[in-house]
């Protein structure tokens, strides 16, 4: 009798566990379904860039990719080190799209990020922005806020490694010569209501968050198709303006 009761209560308990498992599974499944609904369509003609960012590739490529990123953000670091090499090789170097990087330093949570933007901007004076960009992201854990309060010694090492004239780079860094340019890049992001990094603008789509190569390529293809369509059927307003 007692055993029977115990078996029944055990069965009931398993049912409760099963119920929780089903509810938990459903909640997670529902949350996962919402993940891709945050891409926003924007009107590119209405919002030409007011800051220059840093360009890679052919400025006249049919599609423009804009990235708003923070040097100290791990999600940006993951994109820069894992996905971006493929993007450069297969999309930018093949002329499918140009790539423009805009600093979006989240100074509220990352104390060394502005210094990193500064280091990269000073490297761009000597034509080596992207080389510095890559090293900064590759070595993010060693110069981040949690690791050091003196990131310059690391950036100086990278400057040396990529063959910069370190003394003029260092002067530029100490003078914060490009602070205005960096803040203009961030302001450009704010103007576009960017709230997180990385955020990409590809053609007429704004995509928040780190994305895979395949997703990025799909957005580039869709933007290229849109451009081709616009060329085939130019709207009368644009024609009249020329």
Partner 1 sequence: MRPRNLIALLALVGVFVALYLTLYKIGVIGVLTCNVGSCETVNTSRWATFLGLPVAAWGLGTYIVILVLALAGMQGVAPRETAWLTALITGWGVLFSAWLTYLELFVIHAICMWCVISATLMLLLFVTSAFDLRQELRGG
* Least Å from the CB of residue 123 to partner 1: 22
Q: What residue ranges bind partner 1 (CB under 8 A)?
A: 10, 13, 16-17, 20-21, 24-25, 27-28, 31-32, 35, 70, 73-76, 78, 106, 108-110, 141, 144, 146-147, 195-199, 208-211
Query: Could you give the CA distance from residue 185 to residue 102 in angstroms, rounded to a whole number?
Result: 5
CB of 32 or CB of 41, closer to partner 1: 32
Query: Could you give the CA distance from residue 181 to residue 159 in angstroms, rounded to a whole number?
Result: 20
Measured in residues, the chain has a length of 242
* Least Å from the CB of residue 63 to partner 1: 21
CB of 185 or CB of 210, closer to partner 1: 210
* Least Å from the CB of residue 25 to partner 1: 8
* Least Å from the CB of residue 3 to partner 1: 12
If one counts every other C-beta atom within 10 angstroms of the C-beta of residue 170, the result is: 17
Contact 154, 89 (CB under 8 A): no
Give the Å distances, CA to CA, from 173 to 116, 122, 124. 10, 6, 12
């Amino acid at each position: 009798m007692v055993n029977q009761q115990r078996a029944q209560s055990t069965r009931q308990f398993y049912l409760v566990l099963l119920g929780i498992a089903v509810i938990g599974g459903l909640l997670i499944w529902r949350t996962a379904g919402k993940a891709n609904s945050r891409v926003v369509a924007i009107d590119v003609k209405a919002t030409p860039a007011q800051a220059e960012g840093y360009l890679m590739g052919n400025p006249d490529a049919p599609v423009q990719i804009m990235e708003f990123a923070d040097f100290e953000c791990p999600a940006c670091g993951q994109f820069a080190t894992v996905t971006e090499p493929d993007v450069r090789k297969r999309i930018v170097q093949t002329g499918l799209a140009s790539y423009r990087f805009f600093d979006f330093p989240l100074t509220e949570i990352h104390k060394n990020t502005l210094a990193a933007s500064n280091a990269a901007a000073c490297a761009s004076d000597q034509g080596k922005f992207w080389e510095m960009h890559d090293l900064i992201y590759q070595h993010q854990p060693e110069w981040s806020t949690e690791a050091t309060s003196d990131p310059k010694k690391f950036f100086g090492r990278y400057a040396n490694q990529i063959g910069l004239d370190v003394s003029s780079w260092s002067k530029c860094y100490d003078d914060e010569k490009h602070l205005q340019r960096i803040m203009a890049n961030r302001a450009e992001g704010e103007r576009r209501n960017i709230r997180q990094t990385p955020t990409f603008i590809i053609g007429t789509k704004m995509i928040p968050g780190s994305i895979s190569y395949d997703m990025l390529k799909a957005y580039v293809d869709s933007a290229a198709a849109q451009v081709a369509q616009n060329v085939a059927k130019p709207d009368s307003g644009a024609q009249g303006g020329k």
